[in-house]
Amino acid sequence: MLRLASLLCLVLWSAGASAQQKPTIYIDIPTEKKPWNHIEWNESPAQFQFAIVTDRTGGHRPGVFPMGIRKLNLLQPEFVMSVGDLIEGYTKDTVQLNAEWKEFMSFIEPLEAPFFYVPGNHDFTNEVMEAKWKELFGVSYYHFVYKDVLFLCLNSEDNLRGAGRGTIGDEQFEYIKKVLEENAGVKWTLVFMHQPLWVQEDTKRWKDVEALLEGRNHNVFAGHYHRYWKAQRNNGKYIALATTGGGSRLRGRAYGEFDHVVWATMTEEGPVLANLFLDGIWDEDVVTEDLVDLVRNRPFPVQIAPIYGEAPAPAELSAEVKATNRSDTKMRVSLKGYTHDHLFYQLEQTDFVVEPNNVATFALKMKNPGQTPLSEMSSFTVRAEITYEFEAQPNVSFSNDLKYQPFERHPVRKVSGRKVDGDLKDWKGAEWISVDRRDGAPFDYDGPADCSLKFATAYDADYFYVAVDLADNDFFVAEDGSYWDQDGLIVGLDARPKHLSAFNQGEGRGRDWIAYLRTFKSKNPVYDEARLPAAVTSAVKRTETGATLEIAFPMEYIEKMGGADWSSLRLGLGYYDYDARDAEPTTLFWFPAWNATDDVPGSGMLFRE
């Protein structure tokens, strides 16, 4: 057989205007039919690939970001972009800042590709942090052009206003305007910043920036909210990224809560984006606005109504389970209960379908054979699996662990003549509640004198009052330190009607409920006091064993949120004890925080009497 007869030589070349020669390939295939579809190579000198990492901090989970860096080295991008929140920050302590930046640089050191820094609110939130950033990186906003693509790296923190209040100031706007004018002919513009300013108010010149971007091919990338969503707006794609190790409940794709890096391939038609989960790969439509509206912007479809026993240790209890389908497609629900130490319980339904725009209700029946007091009752878990069954697209499934617990009924009673001075002499005869849910290293806790507290509540025509009797033998106060890294009392108050407040998972802080953190600083002891939705009054009196506190929330605010005939309030209360000699704090909480994974809906409810 002649070798020449079996050798097929293919010389590929382009007859385009550039007359650029494509690669030559030799294929030894003797048959007329060929084992390929075509040989138009997916290759272009203008094409390139880069990666984007997102929030590492805001409650970082150790090890996740370095793992992402290792995976990027396997993928070999040409360079890596960021969208900020690289360190925990939020401090003026230069020793702490230096240590945090040193730690982050150690994460970047193994990266084989260039890494481009963009500031987030955790990195750039006060004058000290601003100076440190400029010491390390020179500027806080900049640009570069690579293969006819403009990369515009912005500083959404340029007015040092913190989370949820990002801005583009006048000086930065003039820079952006000049850069866009000088690079009017690029084929694409990619914008990177930390806070998604397109969903925030009072962003100074951001809307002017959007007006400049509207007429050109562009994409905008941000982070900050630790949840992914993509929006089509302003003639471009605006994408808020999830996390690369930052704080997250990690409830999955339907909630936009996952750890990922973005893999971007720049083509003539724009960037092609792949979301590389640390356990899989999804394209840029991993969460669309339609899915956000169906899943994330609505309460979880299954709720178990909290109950509050009048008797201290009832033998039998019953609660209503409600499954609400707010969609135009069928919703399948599967429920699975787990055993409980004290209660025997039964769900009347465990696997059923709720028709479109319909509600199914049934009973959860409980027996308490050991007559365990409600005050000693622990929670149990019902696993809820939800599947929306679509006809023209893949089904969407997600799940949630429903924590449930029957509660004792706590009254809040009317008083008169109350004065907020930190002295508890007016609280004789009040119903005091001890807070004994403790967390932290066991060897950091030395008993009740180290850290313990009890509280009581009352109301009158003008205020709702919380009194706290605190034992703490080692107060840790840092006048210039972070509010969250020293001794402090945290009080959450949700005055909305019970059907709303009971299922508050920590979202809408400041809008729907008050989060009040009070430290023992001599000046400005309250965290972000100017941004509280109501003027809260408080007073502290130091004692031989610790301190007593009184806090007053205006009745005007409570009636605004719950109506003049309000009947309940949801109260969350906890204490952070940072003893100077201990590595970590001891925390005391009445019930788990509302945004914690072990939150129990309906906990901390007080009923007006």
Q: What CATH number has the domain bearing residue 436?
A: 2.60.40.1190
- Residue 12 is predicted with a pLDDT of 33
Within a domain: residue 98? yes
The number of domains in the chain is: 3
Is residue 463 predicted with pLDDT exceeding 50?
yes
95 lies in the same domain as 168: yes
- Residue 579 is predicted with a pLDDT of 85
Q: In angstroms, rounded to a whole number, what is the distance separating the alpha carbons of residues 390 and 397? A: 11
Confidence tier at 43 by pLDDT (50, 70, 90):
confident
> Starting from the edge strand earliest in sequence, which strands make up the sheet with 380-389, in order?
351-354, 330-337, 380-389, 396-404
CA dihedral 99, 102, 107, 108 (to 10 degrees): 150
Q: Cα dihedral sign for 480, 482, 484, 486?
A: negative
Residue in 553, 455, 475 with CA at minimum distance from that of residue 519: 475
Within a domain: residue 42? no
Confidence tier at 24 by pLDDT (50, 70, 90):
low
467 lies in the same domain as 531: yes
499 lies in the same domain as 582: yes
196 lies in the same domain as 162: yes
Within a domain: residue 24? no
Answer with the one of 408, 425, 443 that is the final residue of a domain: 408
Looking at the DSSP bridge assignments, the partners of residue 27 are 8
**More confidently predicted of 11 and 280:** 280
- Which residue matches tokens 């038609």? 269
Judged by DSSP in three states, 444 sits in helix
Stretch 304-310: mean pLDDT, rounded? 95
Confidence tier at 540 by pLDDT (50, 70, 90):
very high
Confidence tier at 23 by pLDDT (50, 70, 90):
low
322 lies in the same domain as 378: yes
- Residue 285 is predicted with a pLDDT of 76
Within a domain: residue 237? yes
422 lies in the same domain as 558: yes
Is residue 508 predicted with pLDDT exceeding 60?
yes
- Residue 392 is predicted with a pLDDT of 65
Summarised one tens digit per residue, pLDDT across range 275-290 is: 999 777 666 877 778 7
Stretch 530-549: mean pLDDT, rounded? 96
230 lies in the same domain as 242: yes
**Residue 402: which domain range?**
302-408
Within a domain: residue 17? no
- Residue 357 is predicted with a pLDDT of 95
Judged by DSSP in three states, 124 sits in coil
Amino acid identity at 188: W
State the average pLDDT for the chain: 91
Residue 282: which residues within 8 A CB-CB, separation 6 or more? 253, 274, 275
Is residue 152 predicted with pLDDT exceeding 60?
yes
Answer with the one of 271, 296, 321 that is the final residue of a domain: 296
Could you tell me the CA-to-CA distances from 549 to 223, 476, 535, 557, 604 in Å, in that order?
Answer: 38, 17, 17, 21, 19
Confidence tier at 29 by pLDDT (50, 70, 90):
confident
Q: In angstroms, rounded to a whole number, what is the distance separating the alpha carbons of residues 159 and 142? A: 17
- Residue 14 is predicted with a pLDDT of 34
Task: Identify the weakest region by mean pLDDT among 78-87, 285-294, 460-469, 492-501.
Answer: 285-294
Stretch 69-82: mean pLDDT, rounded? 94
Phi, psi (rounded to 5 degrees) for 344: -105, 130
Element (H, E) at 421: none
376 lies in the same domain as 291: no
pTM for the full model?
A: 0.71
Residue 431: which residues within 8 A CB-CB, separation 6 or more? 410, 411, 413, 456
Q: In angstroms, rounded to a whole number, what is the distance separating the alpha carbons of residues 237 and 189? A: 11
Residue in 273, 362, 354, 316 with CA at minimum distance from that of residue 54: 273
Residue in 104, 152, 156, 169 with CA at minimum distance from that of residue 125: 156
Stretch 530-546: mean pLDDT, rounded? 95
- Residue 19 is predicted with a pLDDT of 39
277 lies in the same domain as 314: no
Summarised one tens digit per residue, pLDDT across range 177-236 is: 999 999 999 999 999 999 999 999 999 999 999 999 999 999 999 999 999 999 999 999
Please state the length of the chain.
609
Q: In angstroms, rounded to a whole number, what is the distance separating the alpha carbons of residues 263 and 52? A: 7
Summarised one tens digit per residue, pLDDT across range 478-490 is: 999 899 999 999 9
Confidence tier at 9 by pLDDT (50, 70, 90):
very low
Amino acid identity at 185: G
- Contact assessment for residue 64 and residue 44, using Cβ atoms and an 8 Å cutoff: no
First to last CA, the chain: 102
362: domain CATH number is 2.60.40.10
77 lies in the same domain as 204: yes
Amino acid identity at 181: E
Summarised one tens digit per residue, pLDDT across range 357-404 is: 999 999 999 999 999 999 999 999 999 999 998 876 678 889 999 999
Stretch 467-486: mean pLDDT, rounded? 92
Angle at the Cα of 532 from the Cα atoms of 555 and 558, rounded to 5 degrees: 20
513 lies in the same domain as 477: yes
362 lies in the same domain as 501: no
- Residue 87 is predicted with a pLDDT of 96
Confidence tier at 17 by pLDDT (50, 70, 90):
very low
Answer with the one of 408, 431, 465 that is the final residue of a domain: 408
Within a domain: residue 30? no
Q: Which two tokens stand for residue 156?
A: 């959404």
Is residue 31 predicted with pLDDT exceeding 70?
yes
Within a domain: residue 43? no
Within a domain: residue 40? no
Confidence tier at 580 by pLDDT (50, 70, 90):
confident
- Which residue matches tokens 């000198």? 45
Angle at the Cα of 401 from the Cα atoms of 395 and 407, rounded to 5 degrees: 140
- Residue 511 is predicted with a pLDDT of 93
242: domain CATH number is 3.60.21.10
